[in-house]
Each structure stands twice: as structure tokens, then as C-alpha cells.
Amino acid sequence: MLSEKMNEALNAQANRELYSSYLYLSMSYYFESTGMTGFASWMRVQAGEELVHTMKMLDYVANSGGRAKMMAVEAPQLSWASPMQAFQHVWNHERMVTGLIHALVRVAESESDEGTKRFLQWYLEEQVEEEESSDRVLKIVQAAGSESSALKAADKELGQRRFKFPSGFEIFPYSAIPTTIGSLKK
Ligand code: OFO
């Protein structure tokens, strides 16, 4: 059973994960509007991953005796001065999120909640990957600079990225959340 404080902190982080999805979706449509469909596609995959992060966290709350609550999602930035600025934003954002996950782990420690601490390990590992990947793509876009053919090549390269559900987790069907579906059937 989650403490009230842990429940609130997890709901707040799920909201930040959803904001991350919204931010990357905003970047995706910004790139789509500039004709850079490979960058748009990369951001769309990233937005999908953030939605998974959101639902995985809310499912955990629901399955741990807590209550998953939806809150207003902040409106994201709508445009960027250049691809480099957008990918720099991704780089900064992921490092900020890592800090938030560490803060969440500290809440779990202060609540003596070993189960949540173990659950958050997945997010810490995910952040290591997200930081690495944001670093790699930023370097690719930085190397392209503002030179048109180099940017087109970078756009093509990043467009190869494909979405994959993390192992053992699916958003659909409902069976991903057995406790909740059990109570819905009653
Ligand atoms: Fe949820 O990992 Fe990025 O923000």
C-alpha cells in the first residue's frame, strides 16, 4: 500500500512524463511543419516512449493500492529557432527528468518504501539510456550545423528510429493492469 505522500509524488511524476510526451509531440509537429520528417519521426517515437513512462507509473500506482489521478498538463513550447536548439532542449530536458527521478527515489527512501524504490530502478536505468541517446542525436545535429545537405542526411538518419515497447510492458490491452481490471469487473 502506498503512503499518501508517495502516491502524490508518483502522480506528480506521471504528470511530468506526460508533459515530456507532449513536449516531444510539439517538437515532432514543429519539425513536420518545417519539412524535416525524419526529425519529426524521431520526436514522435520519443513522445511514444514518454507515454509508456506515464502509463507504467500510473499502472504501478493503481496496482499498489494507490489512486492514479490525472492533472492538467502544462502547455509545451511550440517552436524552436533551429534543429540544434530543439535537440539541445531534449538534452537539457532529459537531464532535468533524471533529477526528478532521483528526487522520487529520495521520497521512497523517506517513506521506507522498498517496493517503490525497486520499481523506480527501471526509470533510473531508462534515464541513463535517454541521456546517452539525447547526447548522441545532439552531436549528430550539431555536426550537421546549418549546412542544408548535412542537415538532410541527419534528418534521414534520425528518421530510422523505430518505436519499441519495453520488455514486459504493453499499454494495451487492459491485462497490463490486472488489479484494476479485476476491480472494474466487480
Ligand atoms: Fe521519461 O524519460 Fe524522457 O523524460
The model's pLDDT over 80-127, given as tens digits with 9 standing for 90+, comes to 999 999 999 999 999 999 999 999 999 999 999 999 999 999 999 999
Residues 42-49 have a mean pLDDT of 97
Q: Which of 143, 121, 140, 122 is nearest to 132 (CA)?
A: 140
CATH 1.20.1260.10 fits domain 4-162 = yes
- State how far the Cα of 114 lies from the Cα of 112, in Å rounded to an integer: 6
pLDDT of res. 177: 54
The structure's pTM equals 0.92
Q: Is 97 in the pocket of ligand 1 (CB under 6 A)?
A: yes
Residue 185 has pLDDT above 60, yes or no: no
Task: Say how many Å lie between the CA of residue 128 and the centre of ligand 1.
Answer: 10
Residue 153 has pLDDT above 80, yes or no: yes
Query: In ligand 1, which atom is closest to the CA atom of 20?
Result: 4
Q: Is 113 in the pocket of ligand 1 (CB under 6 A)?
A: no
The model's pLDDT over 104-115, given as tens digits with 9 standing for 90+, comes to 999 999 999 999
Number of H helices, E strands in the chain: 6, 0
Task: Say how many Å lie between the CA of residue 90 and the centre of ligand 1.
Answer: 10
- State how far the Cα of 150 lies from the Cα of 156, in Å rounded to an integer: 10
